[in-house]
A and B are shown apart, each in its own frame.
Chain A
């Protein structure tokens, strides 16, 4: 490999980290909010696929990419609301409900998305981060999704909100001690339903960044487990929205290795490199989980860490 190939590879991975990492960022923020309230939403995988379809369809029908983003996020919020309501029934396990909504959301998205496979929808604007460079490879690799800065701002806002606002404290209280919440006269179920729904809305933005930015089309293989990786990612980020940014970029970069290598002509092991995010997730889980002890920073009511 010569110098140009190396530059292209690094630019591909860095650009990919920003591009592939965008959905990870939103889904992990959504999951973070849900888990802070004491519930796990494995159904975010279904939320992601459904909102990817809805935002693409919305953008195609309305002709505006930003309206599409809103429609996608609303669709995600609706599906997450269903999760919140179902989990409020007695004896209904949040993990099982998540699996059900994963199947339901993807089925619904594939069903409604059939007419969307052909058309082209208006795309979100790109932010050219690579304009300082003369190299066209770098310039094209560093075209960044306009939703990424929104995601980063959201992460900062959530971090501030959890620490400083009444609403943030209420969500954390519902996640840490249901009894304390009841004692203060708040509805645990209500808080959790609200947090889950808001989490679905945020994850829906991730769906929009899947279909409304490069390569910018809807197909049935659009998401492959990003919604589930996000659950592990939140554990890795120790339930901090700020650390979610770094974790999402790391995973985006890992996911970009395969395509970046392919783009410079290394075809061997394409499928192996595509499994890097999953392997990385497992390795991180192995390193960060200790048997018999609760993960640092985890909400006290969370079923997965007990």
Chain B
């Protein structure tokens, strides 16, 4: 129970501390921190419009976060989600060029499958390079991401370009019937449902099935996996493929629901923000859903910060960066044995009684962790 509370409390405190530090940061720019916090909240969750904006951004974040989380459970640090997303979007936009699709939900499904295949194969390549050639998957997946962006631009500005798109090269727009629409007439598209279902399904797969368990064994203890004869190569490839497929679907959904064609605005950094979401959710698929909504909200509030307070649009990136640094720092701080530390300190200050064992439990521990987390920064 105490561990569960710690699992939950640490990220919450890290995010709170990040918001606090971000307030100090904008204070240097001459902007009132309180105003920034209020606008961050209003722009993210203030009214129906901002909720729509938030959820629209949360959908791709959930899927790109899964692209980090699933391989992470198999012991790999994959950070090339942006490349898989971009290729997924490209495959989705390119499919109607080569295949006549039925103009209904079945056609949209075909688009998503094309995206999933493209993204899945791309990330599986990083996993394969690691298993076969021993190449660090973090570096290779990121390099593959840059190659994917180059390929995307080459095709969108070349063979697949719609001659009508003059200033901003783009592919031909998808037919009306193929587009993924909003849920119940709102701006929130069905991609959100896809994202939530993907998170739930992945979570159940990892926690409830034998194959999901084997993936976790491979990630947690490769030696043990080897000893019991688990097919590590295949499991790792599957984890990478599934993660990449999720990011590919994110790209396909962005094209089919938001942009209607593939153009450079698809490269919006969802892949990188997904890394952060996955790390904050501690690579737990269930936890990705709320974290993605939170960071989708910060993203949605970014433009409001720019319009109301004149802060640069990159301020959300700064907030994300601070949150990422703090979440990693909290990981290190939680391993410290605070009870022992407090007990050792206590006798030197005669006024304070020695902290009783029961009282030094969860609440003061967590508070101390958070305080120290700030102090260290």
Contacts and interface: CB of A to CB of B under 8 A. Distances in A.
B227 interface: no
Interface residues on B, range: 35 or more
Contacts of A293: 134
A182 interface: no
A274 interface: yes
Contacts of B331: 89, 91-92
Interface string B287-323: 0000000000000000000000000101111111110
B335 A110 contact: no
Which 3 pairs of residues, A with B, have the shortest CB-CB distance?
A: A104-B321, A89-B332, A107-B317
Nearest to B317: A107
Contacts of B105: none
A118 to B, nearest CB: 14
Given A96-B279, A272-B150, A286-B129, A89 B321 contact: no
Contacts of B147: 275, 278-279, 282
Interface residues on A, range: 35 or more
Given A92-B328, A275-B146, 12 more contacts: A99-B138, A100-B325, A104-B318, A107-B318, A110-B317, A111-B318, A231-B139, A268-B158, A272-B151, A285-B140, A286-B129, A289-B135
Contact of B320 (A82, A85, A107, A275): A107
A101 B138 CA distance: 15
A106 B139 CA distance: 18
B150 A275 contact: yes
15 contacts: A92-B328, A99-B138, A99-B324, A103-B317, A103-B321, A104-B318, A104-B320, A104-B324, A107-B321, A228-B142, A268-B158, A278-B143, A278-B147, A291-B134, A304-B138
Nearest to B332: A89
A206 B335 CA distance: 37
Contacts of B316: 107
B134 A108 contact: no
Contact of B151 (A82, A107, A275, A286): A275
Interface string B144-183: 1011001101100110000000000000000000000000
A105 interface: yes
Nearest to B325: A100
A121 interface: no
What does DSSP make chain B's interface, helix, strand, loop or mixed?
A: helix
Nearest to A258: B150
A220 B376 CA distance: 30
Contacts of B157: 271
A92 B322 CA distance: 16
A103 B320 contact: yes
Contacts of A290: 133-134
A136 interface: no
A281 interface: yes
Interface of A: 42, 82, 85-86, 89-93, 95-97, 99-101, 103-108, 110-111, 114, 220, 224-225, 228-229, 231-232, 268-272, 274-275, 278-279, 281-282, 285-286, 289-293, 304
Given A90-B332, A278-B143, A105 B77 contact: no
What does DSSP make chain A's interface, helix, strand, loop or mixed?
A: helix
B333 interface: yes
Given A89-B329, A271-B153, A285-B135, A99 B79 contact: yes
A232 B324 contact: no
Given A104-B322, A107-B314, A271-B150, A95 B138 contact: yes
Given A111-B315, A278-B150, A97 B143 contact: no
Contacts of A292: 134
A65 to B, nearest CB: 25
Given A99-B79, A107-B318, A269 B332 contact: no
A285 B143 CA distance: 11
A100 B143 CA distance: 17
Given A90-B336, A100-B324, A278-B150, A286 B133 contact: yes
B218 interface: no
A105 B140 CA distance: 21
Q: Most chain-B Cβ atoms within 10 A of its Cβ — which of A89, A97, A268?
A: A89
Contacts of B134: 289-293
A143 to B, nearest CB: 27
B77 A90 contact: no
A51 to B, nearest CB: 16
A31 to B, nearest CB: 11
Contact of B325 (A104, A231, A269, A304): A104
Contacts of B276: 100, 103
A99 B317 CA distance: 13
A114 B314 CA distance: 9
B335 A285 contact: no
